[in-house]
Amino acid sequence: MAYIYAFIKEFLSLTWEVLPYFLGGAAFGAALDVYLKPEFALKHLRGGWLSMVKAAVLGMIMPGCSCATMPMAEGLRRKGADLGTVTSFLLASPLASPQTLVLTWALLGWKFAAARTLAGLIGGVTIGALFLRLERAPGLLDIPAAQPAKKCCSGCGCSSAAESEEPKKFWPVFIDILKELGKYFALGMAIASALIVLMPADLMARYIGSSGPLAYLAATLAGVPLYVCEGEEIPLTLSLMKLGLGPGPAFAFLLGSVGTCIPTMIMSQRLIGRRGLLIYAVFWLLFALAAGLLFGFIEASPR
């Protein structure tokens, strides 16, 4: 009974603290969805370094997870965009969105939010440059033929309804975002609260340490099998920090869990092939680890 009471108290406390930011992020995402015209942005994405930067930024600010941006990525490919541009756009989308950045700021602080934004941009452009080079080397990638775009995937918080030709309105879009993201928001809060209540407070320090080499490696790899979508990773990261995980490993976990999101990986194979998917997975794990080490070094540096 004591555990149930502690769980409810922790859940309500976390939810009350973050709810205003969640609503604000949903409102910002709805405004972007209504007023940002993808056709205007996509016509500037054809190829080259500048195109990859634009694609990464667009992927980060477009509302919705990678399931929602996959049709746009495939549309880019069919219009002749190089693989670097398409990959930058597609793989930056789960790393930073209006909703997740606001939630990251609310739960983990502005440093985590700023670092996540920077990591999304640098990671998207870097992996885009890598795939641009691989695409120009014959025989290295097994890129599949273009397939009809799918509107959505199951279980990732994006609507499966066909897009309406009628102009979008703010309040219906806002309500849809709340409906779709609310379940993931609540689930993330519930898991985080359960971890905080049920796991021993000294678990991290006893078995892997706060910020040692094992902590970085374990935190990076721990995110791989997790199915996270639309901000679930943020309360999970908070719970790990409350259990004693240092900021650097926590940031590595944050990036690793979203960068290797299972729906993203499965759908990316349709564009970059199996070999490309393996290269992406290895790249992102190494990038998450390096970004966590850098973030931890900056946090530990004397002011």
Helix (H, G, I), strand (E, B) or coil at 44: coil
- pLDDT score for 148: 47
Q: Provide the token pair at 64.
A: 């919705």
Task: Please check the confidence at residue 71 and state whether its pLDDT lies above 80.
Answer: no
Each residue of 122-153: pLDDT tens digit?
Answer: 988 998 899 888 888 777 776 665 454 444 44
Number of folded domains in the chain?
1
* C-alpha distance from residue 284 to each of 30, 158, 231, 278 (Å): 29, 24, 18, 10
Share of the chain above pLDDT 90, in %: 13
Q: pTM for the full model?
A: 0.76
In a domain, 292, yes or no: yes
In this prediction, residue 81 carries a pLDDT of 76
In a domain, residue 206? The reply is yes
The whole domain housing 238 covers 2-157+167-300
d(CA 74, CA 95): 19
162 assigned to some structural domain: no
What's the mean pLDDT in 295-301? 89
Torsion angle, alpha carbons of 164, 167, 171, 175, to 10: 20
Within a domain: 235: yes
Mean of pLDDT over the chain: 77
Domain annotation covers residue 14? yes
The tokens for 54 are: 């634009």
Asked, for residue 281, whether it belongs to a domain, the answer is: yes
- With respect to residue 82, please indicate whether it lies within any of the assigned structural domains: yes
Q: Which is nearest to 41 in space by CA: 58, 17, 27?
A: 58
Position 116 scores a pLDDT of: 93
Residues 277, 284 contacting (CB under 8 angstroms): no
Coil, strand or helix at 212: coil
Spatial neighbors of 127 by CB under 8 A, at least 6 apart, are: 87, 88, 91, 280, 283, 284, 287
Q: Is residue 99 a part of any domain in this protein?
A: yes
